[in-house]
Amino acid sequence: MPDESFLTKEKLILRRPNLMDKMAILEMIKEFQLDKSEMDGCFIDEKLDYEHWLESNLKSEQGVDLPEGFVSAVQFVSFDEKGHAIGFLHLRLSLNEFLRQFGGHIGYSIRPSVRNKGYAKEQLRLGLQRAKEMSIFDVLLTCHTTNIASQKVILANGGIYQDTLHETQRYWIKNK
pLDDT band at 9 (very low <50, low <70, confident <90, very high): low
Domain ranges across the chain? 4-136
Distance, CA of 130 to CA of 119 (rounded, Å): 16
3-state helix, strand, coil in the chain (%, to 5): 40, 25, 35
- Tell me the pairing of strands 106-110 and 85-92: antiparallel
Distances (CA, A) of 45 to 29, 48, 54, 125, 142: 11, 6, 12, 27, 23
Report pLDDT for 68. 92
Q: Which CATH architecture has domain 4-136?
A: 3-Layer(aba) Sandwich (3.40)
Residue 128: which H helix or E strand, with range? helix 119-133
List pLDDT tens digits, range 62-109.
999 999 999 999 999 999 999 999 999 999 999 999 999 999 999 999
pTM for this predicted structure: 0.91
pLDDT band at 6 (very low <50, low <70, confident <90, very high): very low
Task: Give CA 38 to chain center in angstroms.
Answer: 11
- Using CA atoms, how far apart are residues 136 and 172, in angstroms rounded to an integer? 12
